[in-house]
Structure 1
């Protein structure tokens, strides 16, 4: 049993580790922007933060639209490998080789998926950019300070062009992950952190003869980095012999049926991502009602959770891709083990992190709260105790969403997260924080309750769906 777990863990880690490191590098990218904006002043930080919240909400939902691409590519690749193996066995000892036909069919299917994903990313990028600008224009009507709203609008104009190359990058990223060749992602993302910091500094302060752009420079730098990373990933894929033949850019030839399939799978994922972001944003507003110290503590601990959450994201994506591959060729028992392996890996990491939270809280909080923060530091220390347990469920629910995505079941994930976040988590947070007067601690206990409910329901749904599919003995096929 232990030998099998270790073997499966190594196989999962081969895909998960590059994805986890890539996610952490992306966190460093947004953190750099925040630090640079903070150096400009409080009003610039407020305006820039507001603009980034709007941008990230639309970006996250756009990413959700193309997330299923990796699963579709993985399933097609697994079916191709199975067909080639069967053809090789049938033609063993003979001069003719019929394997080329099965391989070409699979390649054409994957080219169609890539073509449709880029078309979908194009539509989402253009629509999102327009919506971003319109939201910026509406900020004064939403009760925002006039000076802050004006600065935020200017930055949104600079960020809007970056959404399209950002979503192109994500479509190509999902393609490379589905092919289980994500190594270039990490190198490109790490390099983008340094490029982003340099561009921020140059454009903010107007060095090397360039105009001094201030806060707008952060937006221009961010959009420029998205363009550069998209080009870098495309060039890298073109140099990869396994990826280049499948990277179809003729989006005008996208098959409407494939486009509809990706949209059918992607819309619930986008809604799930948007729902989760909205849930956590609302709890931040609740924390703010208890004063600046409570909001500062909530923000610091939430950032820690967000950083650690990237481990869950990497494991979730890797588990999802592997489930798609196993089910495409009817290996249900292996698909069941993937769930156990992903949860075991997550539990191991979260245990180590939880021990650090409980034994060294001030050290963990030092980058976010000064030692003289007083009340904020005390509140944050108490919240870390809850977080030490909360992160197990946060990680498990994200893995559950990924596992269901591996089944092409994105709607169940969306419905269950609505129940867990909004029907259980939010009422629990309100009851504990306000009715029982536990303040910010109550909010986080409510978060724990909601995430635990979501995790249990998602994992149960996966087990039930897998059992049903196994009983039918029907491999997962593209629909």
Structure 2
């Protein structure tokens, strides 16, 4: 009986995580499809998709993290048995998406000009610039979708998120093939076609989420729709640090790719593909983390804080098994995996050779990344967003400073990837130590239970 109780949260975790894993894996597939299609266009476009797509997510990451944190409020209110609070929380995310979409639209073109200063090859820099500004201009759609996906996940209906995600995946795949390579009578647009395909797919997803929210009566609920400025400020005080943490992490990895890109097109393309392949492991782990976060939200909203440690450790155990399997796959099949992405450009052979080396680094840091994902999601759902943002900002600053030092004194692919692996390991240790302190117990999300 004791043995059964020790793992009592795993069945609930897997039941909830299944649709979330499929959803996050679909995001990976969208990126992988774009990368494969662009490999048939040019090696410059293949190299450019890495930094530019990460830069898009860097800026959108803050918006995603802030608007998507509405899902944490939803989960806590759902656990607390407050249906009106659930809808009001969803509207907090919607209002955040509206404001952030306007800001992103205005900032898209000016920010895109920064790619011309990276020191990358001229055509690569122009491709990076094009992809970035098109995706940034359409930021409202994925951020709005993130807010309502959080609403569905928070009330325990992630299967609908999966359905919407896969529909958008199909739209992206078909449009990317047509617009990048000029198939089916469509113009050949290269990397601009990939960006337009992505934005269109995100638009379709946003419309589907809006339809589901309307069906639930969310738009008709005038009390929930009325913006409570005090509650909105309270929401932003917890959500904005979460957005900053996500954008800070993405900033560190975007700068990493920018620095690697200074070594050459082969090194940049191989590193970009490494991140794409790593997504095969990372995004299912993220789905597990999101499921664990929902369970934590339900438990804390219902006043069952003593369940949270068991949820965290059991979720981490499941995620670690997954990551060990992926690490073994990456270490033993790196060559065949890279051959799928390298295309048939003159640089393809060099990309495969370089990538085979990089996948050994990816295999190692996957093992540590399990704690980064799972414990990070648990801490965030428990309300530790401010501490997470402060700590990760410091860690990222140290990482970037050391990366700059390596680039100036002894630039090389092995040295830079070694530093990246150490960065993942150190942050994993920090999250684990913080969770063990139990400080998260002092923070309450549901209004009226305690003061934040």
Q: TM-score range by the shorter chain?
A: 0.7 to 0.9
Q: Deviations over 1:197-253 (max 9, x none)?
A: 2233455577777777665444433322222111212323445xxxx1445676872
3-state SS of paired residue (1:31): helix
Matched residues in 1 for 2:135 and 2:407: separation? Answer: 37
Matched residues in 1 for 2:41 and 2:165: separation? Answer: 25
Q: Deviations over 1:267-291 (max 9, x none)?
A: 1112111111121122223434444
3-state SS of paired residue (1:7): coil
Q: Is the 8 A contact 1:51 1:155 kept in 2?
A: yes
> 2:339 aligned with 1:338, yes or no?
no
Moved more, 413-422 or 60-69: 413-422
Match of 1:414 in 2: 389
Matched residues in 2 for 1:138 and 1:168: separation? Answer: 26
Match of 2:432 in 1: 459
Matched residues in 2 for 1:118 and 1:205: separation? Answer: 36
Matched residues in 2 for 1:210 and 1:366: separation? Answer: 28
Moved more, 448-457 or 39-48: 39-48
Moved more, 308-317 or 42-51: 42-51
Q: Is the 8 A contact 1:429 1:446 kept in 2?
A: yes
Match of 2:67 in 1: 66
Match of 1:404 in 2: 379
Q: Deviations over 1:307-353 (max 9, x none)?
A: 31112211221111211221223322211101101110111111212
Matched residues in 2 for 1:116 and 1:175: separation? Answer: 10
Matched residues in 1 for 2:407 and 2:9: separation? Answer: 42
Q: Is the 8 A contact 1:54 1:132 kept in 2?
A: no
Q: Is the 8 A contact 2:61 2:247 kept in 1?
A: yes
Matched residues in 1 for 2:372 and 2:190: separation? Answer: 40
Q: Give, in angstroms, the shift of residue 64 of structure 1.
A: 0.9
Match of 2:165 in 1: 189
Q: Is the 8 A contact 2:69 2:93 kept in 1?
A: no
Q: Give, in angstroms, the shift of residue 370 of structure 1.
A: 7.5
3-state SS of paired residue (2:35): helix
Classify 1:249/1:224 alpha carbon distance in 2 versus 1 (closer, same or farther; 3 Å).
Answer: farther
Superposition pairs for residues 346-385 of structure 1, below 5 Å?
A: 346-369=319-342, 376-385=351-360
Question: How many pairs does the alignment contain?
Answer: 445
The structure whose Rg is larger is 1
Q: Give, in angstroms, the shift of residue 396 of structure 1.
A: 0.8
Classify 1:295/1:401 alpha carbon distance in 2 versus 1 (closer, same or farther; 3 Å).
Answer: same
Match of 2:29 in 1: 28
What CA RMSD, in Å, does the superposition of the two structures yield over aligned residues? 3.5
Classify 1:32/1:155 alpha carbon distance in 2 versus 1 (closer, same or farther; 3 Å).
Answer: same
Q: Give, in angstroms, the shift of residue 460 of structure 1.
A: 1.7
Match of 1:94 in 2: none
Moved more, 449-458 or 118-127: 449-458
> 2:103 aligned with 1:127, yes or no?
yes
Matched residues in 1 for 2:338 and 2:322: separation? Answer: 19
**Structure 1: 5+ residue runs without aligned partners?**
81-105
Q: Give, in angstroms, the shift of residue 65 of structure 1.
A: 0.9
Q: TM-score, normalised by structure 1?
A: 0.81
Match of 1:109 in 2: 85
**Structure 2: 5+ residue runs without aligned partners?**
none
Q: Deviations over 1:86-105 (max 9, x none)?
A: xxxxxxxxxxxxxxxxxxxx
Matched residues in 2 for 1:136 and 1:432: separation? Answer: 26
Moved more, 312-321 or 114-123: 312-321
Match of 1:178 in 2: 154
Classify 1:444/1:232 alpha carbon distance in 2 versus 1 (closer, same or farther; 3 Å).
Answer: same
Matched residues in 1 for 2:376 and 2:356: separation? Answer: 30
Moved more, 279-288 or 247-256: 247-256
Q: Give, in angstroms, the shift of residue 456 of structure 1.
A: 1.5
Matched residues in 1 for 2:257 and 2:188: separation? Answer: 34
Q: Which has the higher contact order (CA 8 A, sep 6+)?
A: 2
Matched residues in 1 for 2:339 and 2:40: separation? Answer: 19
3-state SS of paired residue (2:19): helix
Q: TM-score, normalised by structure 2?
A: 0.85
Matched residues in 1 for 2:422 and 2:191: separation? Answer: 39
Q: Give, in angstroms, the shift of residue 429 of structure 1.
A: 5.6
Matched residues in 1 for 2:40 and 2:360: separation? Answer: 32
> 2:207 aligned with 1:231, yes or no?
yes
3-state SS of paired residue (1:367): helix
Superposition pairs for residues 299-310 of structure 1, below 5 Å?
A: 299-310=272-283
Q: Is the 8 A contact 2:64 2:143 kept in 1?
A: yes
Q: Is the 8 A contact 2:109 2:133 kept in 1?
A: yes
Match of 1:199 in 2: 175
Matched residues in 2 for 1:328 and 1:264: separation? Answer: 19
Q: Give, in angstroms, the shift of residue 129 of structure 1.
A: 1.3
3-state SS of paired residue (1:287): helix
